[in-house]
Structure 1
């Protein structure tokens, strides 16, 4: 008689579903990642729990959390499932053309700046590759989240990752309309911003961004005030153009409005350049043909 825990057909899929729910702490998020319905995820977990005769998740109407047994199973499973996935990816190298799913985690701004311009040409040239792009401003752990790679500013890339530069340096710009500055004056040093109406930025985590400046080795971090807070930087530019106040955004987003005079910048000598956007992935992980093709399509010449 076979052992009740012996692998059977469908176990790999069920365990993949389990790890996805464990990573997201959400049946719905796991369903989105796996491209199935939430009910299919729920059914898969229910069948797995019945087979193992143990509860893996604590569920309420508001939250999903791992039980002690579920936590132990997830810890044991992750390395094994990663090895299986890596083996499958290596077999992919024998294909003549790139194929498979490439999961990318990036901020919305990074997606619009570096992926979107090359997206349609990439999909036309690589019809067997499926791109799964997740917009995320939380600086998520790409390994725990099951992503092939992430895209972030160079200073935000974990040190143990392989990083490939995609853009030049990034500078921020403090901008507002000429009319705003005529009415309220121009800040000369960062501390002057406390007397101005500033358009604040909220990260996906809920944290309000403190405006960061530096000049001649002196750094300033300002917790600005203002009547508007947004979580979308292009909208911050639009709000500044409408005269709401001063926005602090990546320079390239305001470039058009600065060129035609709708916006003017201040504190220019306090806005240093930061390392640009980088695509990064774990150094120990096999790089699939699909990810290599995407890197080739996105990277700038060195």
Structure 2
């Protein structure tokens, strides 16, 4: 069956149900003349007249009644499927897949997700923790959260937090045995805990001095692909860690970690929610974007 035949059948079913070409046109979001054309083409293919049209009413012919009895159940199934598809296009529902860094979840994202799932019970939020810069959309994620420095150019970005301070921190026990670095170059002889995996290791730590940025390539006893475990390792005194100040705020307050090299602290503009540039954003993602804005965390 080609598309023209299907369109004609759907138009006929709606006219038969509503007894009105105008009402059927409204349901199909087309003009009454277009509905009339579809019906005429269907009647021409069948070789019978299905509807009687007058200025006051529209009714089924005997042939139309018989045809509707035979084809009615199938046409009703088609119309129900169309209605459900239309509702799905407007109602926020389904699985929302987010790709986010681990450190942002406990203090920032967790309360946002909690209130969002309560507000939209028909949406299931799937969160995949990842720190590396990858093309998440090729892997069917709806959106991601990343620092501004590593965002692709062809995305829509909504600022969530920032600016961010990138700091070097260590445990008091580490400083007691290894001393405190006075300048970033001192990190060359310090034990540094890096985050990454394989060829993607973040071992070039960035700093600023007198308005100019520079990097120091560090090394140390551990490379972890889990930021939370890297923070724990720093707390245990295994080495220094390079991370955003917000991510270790609780460790700083409890004095489990202490910041060094404050005069050389680097900054980035912030953390962003980003998603593909599309002409139409899915309702589930649009609902999440609006919820983030309404929670006043930006």
Q: Who is 2:103 aligned against?
A: 109
1:287 aligns to 2:281 (yes or no): yes
Unaligned runs of 5+ in 2: 2-82
Q: CA offset at residue 265 of structure 1?
A: 1.1
Distance in 1 (CA, whole Å) between partners of 2:141 and 2:250 is: 34
Deviations 1:60-92 (A, max 9, x none): xxxxxxxxxxxxxxxxxxxxxxxxxxxx99945
Q: Who is 1:262 aligned against?
A: 256
Q: CA offset at residue 103 of structure 1?
A: 2.4
Q: CA offset at residue 191 of structure 1?
A: 0.6
1:178 aligns to 2:157 (yes or no): no
Cα distance, 1:138–1:182 mapped onto 2, change above 3 Å: closer
Unaligned runs of 5+ in 1: 3-87
Cα distance, 1:92–1:137 mapped onto 2, change above 3 Å: farther
SS of the residue 2:237 aligns to: coil
Q: How many residue pairs align between the two structures?
A: 216
TM-score, length basis structure 2:
0.64
CA contact (8 A) 1:103 1:147 kept: yes
Distance in 2 (CA, whole Å) between partners of 1:287 and 1:232 is: 31
Matches within 5 A, 1:55-204: 91-92=86-87, 95=90, 97-203=91-197
Quick one: which of 239, 250, 270 aligns to 2:233? Answer: 239
TM-score, length basis structure 1:
0.63
CA contact (8 A) 1:138 1:204 kept: no
1:253 aligns to 2:247 (yes or no): yes
Radius of gyration: which is bigger? 2
Distance in 2 (CA, whole Å) between partners of 1:180 and 1:146 is: 42
Distance in 1 (CA, whole Å) between partners of 2:289 and 2:198 is: 26
Distance in 1 (CA, whole Å) between partners of 2:236 and 2:103 is: 21
SS of the residue 2:218 aligns to: coil
Distance in 1 (CA, whole Å) between partners of 2:129 and 2:255 is: 32
Q: CA offset at residue 113 of structure 1?
A: 4.8
Q: Who is 2:6 aligned against?
A: none
Distance in 2 (CA, whole Å) between partners of 1:204 and 1:99 is: 37
Distance in 1 (CA, whole Å) between partners of 2:236 and 2:253 is: 16
Quick one: which of 259, 268, 271 aligns to 1:274? Answer: 268
For the aligned residues, what is the CA RMSD?
2.9
Cα distance, 1:109–1:260 mapped onto 2, change above 3 Å: closer
